[in-house]
């Protein structure tokens, strides 16, 4: 059973998506590196939060809030 790579052309991509949805084609599996990277990212945030002090977390949150409000202008 071979898997097809996702096409870049929008029309071919649309057909590929329909084929996957109807079961005529199978979606390509993610590479091992991508899977590991996602798993590491899911673990990294909470691990980093444990090492930060309350003051550091508040400062990071403040910077993030300022960036969000700046976008709305």
What does each of the 73 residues of the chain score in pLDDT, given as a tens digit? 455 677 788 998 888 888 888 888 776 665 665 666 666 667 777 888 889 999 999 999 999 999 999 877 6
Number of domains in the chain: 1
Has residue 7 been placed in a domain? no
User: For position 35, what pLDDT does the model report?
Assistant: 64
Has residue 38 been placed in a domain? yes
Three-state secondary structure string covering the chain: CCCCCCCCCHHHHHHHHHHHHHCCCCCCCCCHHHHHHHHHHHHHHHHHHHHCCHHHHHHHHHHHHHHHHHHHC
Supply the range of the domain harboring residue 60. Answer: 29-73
User: For position 25, what pLDDT does the model report?
Assistant: 73
């Amino acid at each position: 059973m071979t898997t097809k790579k996702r096409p870049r052309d929008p029309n071919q991509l649309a057909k590929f998506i329909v084929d996957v949805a109807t079961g005529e084609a199978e979606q390509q599996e993610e590479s091992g590196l991508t899977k590991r990277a996602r798993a590491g990212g899911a673990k990294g945030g909470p691990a980093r939060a444990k090492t930060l002090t309350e003051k550091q977390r508040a400062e990071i949150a403040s910077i993030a809030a300022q960036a969000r409000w700046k976008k709305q202008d």
